[in-house]
């Protein structure tokens, strides 16, 4: 917050003299607003915490999704990301990267066919730690309504999943809640599910 | 039906030997074979396009599909007709209500079941809303492919309003499972017409805004005019229907062909036709179709008839709840319908409708039992992808993206 | 006129008669009219001739659909499905549920390949028509490809090969399209199980 160079630093805000209330009116002065923080107010400007908490807060509040839209759920995912109503930007996740190497969160939105399983695994391995996976929708959580030869019955058979969001397709608010649950997990210290994966290249 | 304006089309030869694959004709050792997809921000789903490039020019192209093959057709054979209805909108997941309507229409044709007038009008209303939804997503993602990301936000904002209307009527934003064999599942709720009427001027305003954004934009025009020209004869040979065909001047639209199906017969719809045949014309056709859809929605609201919203044939349609308390036959019908399902006489039917992508129909083979014997979706997008190779011969890679965006395939439809 | 799907038009028996005049009486084995739709059964070896005639002389310029159907078990007393038996839900076990009436045989052999053709640009509005041409095959028989007459049959035939195992002679690129390249079997056949996973704990009482 840049201050004007000639503004007094510690004069509280008052009603300008031109706006005189009519006589007999009860004047309630506005709240005292401090216009600036003085550098000697240490309790106002310094916060003590641990390094892990800072990292977790940073991780949780800046999860960059990997735009991995497979089928119908992808439409709701795009709605969550690019619609003012659901606005995932307020969670720091508006930066949807097209490449896995620059993203944190792989939202598997849609049904996973066996043919697609290998590319999904490849893309997962190309993501950098810490990485998280959200299984969005019923099809990627458990195979959904498609219990047949062609659909993988849950993407957690090939990648470790952190958050499952049910729905067919889940509302964008549900996906946002899934994101918030993931944020809570991260902030509370639960490591990502990729911790159990042995091989990384 | 001839092209309305005499226009000299470039001769487009069907590729030999395979119509859907382009092979490089030169032995240049510097040709680069790259793989677009299956995960790519602009392939409209999981499409894999294996291209061979000579510098930036596409000299070879192959489409690989099947990355979201869901086996829906085989799944439907295991379910009764009612239980099969939730599967069908998940094929073409952008104009989802069209899928439900097509399946219900095929079943009704096999049953020779008459749908009440109000139900037909409600189906038209929601088919047009589904078309709006599909074209909005097309326009938004298409403009992202061409680089103008701003339009995505406008289109998805309008899309939310469309989905609000679906949610109002049946509770789910996408895949409403609102169409039922014999009519629709439930009547329009009380506040629906008022909110729909407020939506109409909003949508018209939005369409004007889209025209302002891209109508005269020199970058847009430069990237889309003259690119990917599709002649009508080539379109017929490759089996294209829908907006891609109408962008080449052929006024063939199943909503008006031979009078039209369902309530379109009474609504007197004129197809939207453009004469360019290029990417620009395909975008313009869809924007004008959105305008026509809004006009149709207004007409439907103005002329909506009263009456029942579902057929009263108790062998196929559930009786109303209040009858179950008093009538034994209704109770038995309800029980049989819910446990076993209705049976459809044996035979083969094909009832196509006009979805946002083209001719969309279910080839339904019934065997006299409660479950369909075979259901095949005539997918418009599968046919579109065949023509991608021929359209992209000798264009830049960026033009390939533009052409793919303009023909608008949906991979759920292709792979089923 | 079909109200439900008006582009079928009146059943085009005239085209059937002219086919008979052109190719002899044996070219049409059977005509089936169901719900206003005309299906002509023709022998496998005449398919290309018939489709060429329909495209060039009758004006059927759009190939709408090529559908392969497996009629194994069609006339069974019960409608078989892969759902589970009375002793628990085992989805890989064939089970039964009743049919109202046993249908008459759809055709002489196991597989049917139907081609739906439409008149689009060769007629004025109001005269659109559709026609279905059907051939019957057994498991080891093959059918000639329609690509030389209708190039849009390309992906449809590949899909029929992939999912039903029907070989199209002369197709330049007959390989799997929807299933992975190394998949075994043809999933949409009636003797291929639906697959998937059984629901947990469904075998316990």
CA distance A196 to chain B (A): 25
Paired tokens of C176? 């799997």
Tell me which of A165-169, B42-46, B143-147, B275-279 is least confident. Answer: B42-46
Q: What is the DSSP letter of C57?
A: I
Q: B412, A72: Cβ pair inside 8 Å?
A: yes
Per-residue pLDDT, A15:
53
Whether residue B2 has pLDDT greater than 50: no
CA distance C29 to chain B (A): 17
Interval B119-146 mean pLDDT:
92
Per-residue pLDDT, C20:
86
**pLDDT single digits (tens) A13-36:** 555 555 666 777 777 777 766 666
Measured between alpha carbons, how far is A176 from A91 in angstroms, rounded to an integer? 9
Measured between alpha carbons, how far is C27 from C7 in angstroms, rounded to an integer? 25
Whether residue B5 has pLDDT greater than 90: no
Whether residue A1 has pLDDT greater than 60: no
Whether residue A3 has pLDDT greater than 90: no
Looking up tokens 């938004």, which residue turns up?
A: B140
Tell me which of B14-28, B245-259, B317-331 is least confident. Answer: B14-28
Residues C78 and C99: beta-carbon distance below 8 Å: yes
Provide, as residue numbers in chain A, all residues whose Cβ is less than 8 Å from the Cβ of B151.
none
Measured between alpha carbons, how far is A8 from B269 in angstroms, rounded to an integer? 71
Provide, as residue numbers in chain A, all residues whose Cβ is less than 8 Å from the Cβ of B206.
none
B267: left (phi over 0), alpha (psi -120 to 50) or beta: alpha
Is omega for the bond preceding A130 within 30 degrees of 0, making it cis?
A: yes
Q: B370, C99: Cβ pair inside 8 Å?
A: yes
Per-residue pLDDT, C113:
92
To the nearest whole percent, how much of chain B has pLDDT over 90? 41
To the nearest whole percent, how much of chain A has pLDDT over 70? 80
Provide, as residue numbers in chain B, all residues whose Cβ is less than 8 Å from the Cβ of A147.
75
**pLDDT single digits (tens) A37-85:** 666 666 667 778 899 889 988 989 998 998 788 888 898 998 888 888 8
Residues B127 and B165: beta-carbon distance below 8 Å: no
CA distance C78 to chain A (A): 22
**pLDDT single digits (tens) B202-222:** 999 999 999 888 888 898 999
Q: B68, A76: Cβ pair inside 8 Å?
A: no
Whether residue A102 has pLDDT greater than 50: yes
| 3-state SS, residue B353 | strand
Q: What is the DSSP letter of C20?
A: H
C-alpha distances (whole Å) from B68 to each of A140, B170, B355, B376, B385 are: 12, 27, 21, 17, 15
Kindly give the parts of chain C with pLDDT less than 70: 1-3, 76-103, 202-205
| 3-state SS, residue B205 | helix
Structural domains of chain B, with CATH: 72-415 (1.10.645.10)
Task: Give just the sign of the alpha carbon dihedral B227, B233, B238, B242.
Answer: positive
Phi, psi of B209 (to 5 degrees): -65, -40
Measured between alpha carbons, how far is B392 from C61 in angstroms, rounded to an integer? 24
Phi, psi of C38 (to 5 degrees): -100, 125
Interval B133-138 mean pLDDT:
93
Q: A148, C197: Cβ pair inside 8 Å?
A: no
Whether residue B366 has pLDDT greater than 70: yes
List, by residue range, all CATH 3.30.460.80 domains of chain C. Answer: 1-71+109-193
Per-residue pLDDT, B292:
94
Measured between alpha carbons, how far is B262 from B255 in angstroms, rounded to an integer? 9
Enumerate neighbours of B (3 or more CB pairs within 8 A): A, C
Q: B74, A113: Cβ pair inside 8 Å?
A: no
Q: Which residues does B174 contact at the CB level (< 8 Å), separation at least 6? A: A72, A75, A76, A169, B89, B93, B96, B163, B166
Provide, as residue numbers in chain A, all residues whose Cβ is less than 8 Å from the Cβ of B157.
83-85
Paired tokens of B255? 């909503």
CA distance B46 to chain A (A): 6
Residues C100 and B315: beta-carbon distance below 8 Å: no
Residues B406 and B115: beta-carbon distance below 8 Å: no
Q: C65, B378: Cβ pair inside 8 Å?
A: yes
pTM, to two decimals? 0.88
Q: C74, B252: Cβ pair inside 8 Å?
A: no
Whether residue B129 has pLDDT greater than 90: yes
Measured between alpha carbons, how far is A123 from A115 in angstroms, rounded to an integer? 14
Interval B331-350 mean pLDDT:
86
| Surface of C (74-113) touching B: CB under 8 A | 74, 79, 81-83, 97-104, 106
Q: Which of B255, B258, B262 is nearest to B292 (CA)?
A: B255
Q: Which of B231, B228, B239 is nearest to B20 (CA)?
A: B239
Interval B323-345 mean pLDDT:
86
ipTM of the complex: 0.89
Paired tokens of C120? 């689009």
Per-residue pLDDT, C94:
43
Provide, as residue numbers in chain B, all residues whose Cβ is less than 8 Å from the Cβ of A72.
90, 93, 96, 174-175, 412
Q: Quick one: B396 exposed, middle or buried, by C-beta within 10 A (0-12, 13-18, 19+)?
A: middle
Q: Considering only alpha carbons, which residue of chain C is nearest residue A114?
A: C180
Whether residue B123 has pLDDT greater than 90: yes
Q: A84, B153: Cβ pair inside 8 Å?
A: yes
- CATH number for region C1-71+109-193: 3.30.460.80
Q: Considering only alpha carbons, which residue of chain B is nearest residue A123?
A: B39
């Amino acid at each position: 917050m840049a201050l004007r160079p000639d503004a007094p630093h510690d004069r509280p805000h008052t009603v300008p003299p031109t706006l005189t209330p009519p006589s007999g009116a009860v004047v309630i002065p506005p709240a005292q607003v401090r216009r600036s923080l003085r550098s000697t107010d240490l309790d106002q400007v310094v916060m003590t915490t641990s390094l892990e908490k800072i990292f977790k807060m940073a991780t949780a509040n800046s999860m960059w999704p990997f735009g991995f839209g497979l089928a119908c759920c992808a439409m709701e995912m795009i709605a969550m990301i690019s619609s003012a109503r659901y606005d995932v930007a307020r969670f720091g996740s508006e930066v949807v990267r097209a490449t896995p190497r620059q993203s944190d969160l792989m939202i598997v939105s849609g049904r996973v066919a066996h043919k697609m399983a290998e590319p999904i695994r490849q893309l997962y391995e190309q993501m950098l730690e810490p990485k998280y996976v959200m299984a969005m929708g019923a099809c990627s959580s458990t195979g959904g309504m498609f219990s047949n030869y062609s659909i993988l019955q849950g993407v957690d058979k090939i990648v470790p999943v952190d958050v499952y969001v049910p729905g067919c397709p889940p509302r964008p608010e549900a996906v946002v809640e899934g994101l918030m649950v993931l944020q809570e997990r991260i902030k509370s210290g639960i490591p990502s599910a990729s911790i159990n994966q042995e091989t990384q290249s | 039906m001839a092209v309305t304006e005499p226009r000299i089309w470039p001769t487009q030869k069907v590729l030999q030997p395979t119509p859907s694959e382009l092979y490089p004709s030169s032995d240049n050792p510097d040709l680069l074979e790259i793989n677009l997809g299956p995960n790519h921000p602009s392939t409209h789903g999981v499409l894999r396009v294996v291209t061979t490039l000579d510098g930036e020019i596409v000299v070879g192209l192959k489409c690989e599909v099947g990355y979201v093959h869901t086996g829906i057709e085989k799944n439907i054979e295991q379910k009764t007709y009612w239980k099969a209805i939730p599967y069908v909108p998940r094929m073409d997941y952008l104009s989802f209500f069209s899928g439900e309507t097509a399946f219900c229409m095929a079943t009704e044709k096999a049953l020779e079941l008459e749908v009440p007038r109000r139900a037909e009008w409600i189906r038209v209303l929601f088919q047009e809303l589904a078309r709006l939804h599909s074209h909005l997503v097309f326009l938004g993602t298409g403009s992202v492919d061409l680089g103008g990301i701003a339009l995505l936000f406008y289109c998805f904002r309008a899309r939310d309003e469309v989905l609000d209307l679906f949610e109002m009527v049946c509770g789910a934003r996408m895949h409403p499972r609102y169409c039922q064999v014999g009519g629709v599942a439930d009547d329009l709720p009380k506040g629906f017409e008022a909110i729909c009427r407020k939506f109409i001027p909003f949508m018209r305003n939005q369409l004007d805004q889209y025209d302002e954004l891209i109508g005269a934009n020199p970058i847009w025009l430069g990237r889309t005019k003259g690119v990917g020209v599709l002649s009508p004869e080539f379109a017929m040979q490759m089996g294209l229907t829908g907006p891609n065909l109408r962008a080449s001047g052929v006024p063939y639209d199943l909503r008006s062909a031979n009078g039209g199906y369902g309530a379109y017969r009474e609504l007197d719809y004129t197809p939207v036709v453009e004469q360019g045949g290029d990417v620009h014309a395909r975008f313009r056709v869809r924007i004008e179709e959105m305008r026509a859809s809004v006009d149709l929605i207004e007409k439907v609201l103005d002329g909506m008839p009263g009456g029942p919203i579902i057929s009263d044939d108790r062998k196929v349609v559930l009786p109303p709840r209040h009858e179950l308390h008093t009538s034994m036959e209704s109770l038995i019908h309800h029980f049989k319908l819910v446990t076993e399902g209705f049976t459809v006489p044996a035979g083969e039917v094909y009832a196509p409708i006009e979805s946002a992508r083209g001719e969309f129909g279910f080839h339904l083979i019934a065997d006299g039992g409660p479950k369909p014997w075979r259901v095949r979706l005539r997918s418009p997008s599968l046919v579109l992808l065949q023509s991608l190779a021929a359209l992209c011969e000798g264009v830049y890679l960026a033009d390939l993206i533009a052409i793919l965006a303009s023909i608008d395939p949906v991979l759920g439809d292709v792979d089923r | 006129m079909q109200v439900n799907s008006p582009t079928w038009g009146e059943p085009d028996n005239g085209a059937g008669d002219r086919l008979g005049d052109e190719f002899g009486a044996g070219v049409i084995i059977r005509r089936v009219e169901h719900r206003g739709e005309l299906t002509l059964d023709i022998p496998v070896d005449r398919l290309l001739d018939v489709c060429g005639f329909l495209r060039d002389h009758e004006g059927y310029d759009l190939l709408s659909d090529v559908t392969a159907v497996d009629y194994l078990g069609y006339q069974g007393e019960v409608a078989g499905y892969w759902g589970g038996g009375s002793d628990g839900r085992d989805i890989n076990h064939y089970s039964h549920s009743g049919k109202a009436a046993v249908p008459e045989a759809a055709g002489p052999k196991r597989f049917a390949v139907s081609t739906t053709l439409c008149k689009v640009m060769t007629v004025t509005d109001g005269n659109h028509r559709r026609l279905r041409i059907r051939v019957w095959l057994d498991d080891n028989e093959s059918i000639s490809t329609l690509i030389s007459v209708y190039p849009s049959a390309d992906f449809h035939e590949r899909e029929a090969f992939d999912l039903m195992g029907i070989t199209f002679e002369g197709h330049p690129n007959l390989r799997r399209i929807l299933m992975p390249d190394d998949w075994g079997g043809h999933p949409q056949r009636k003797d291929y199980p639906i697959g998937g996973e059984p629901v947990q704990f469904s075998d316990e009482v």
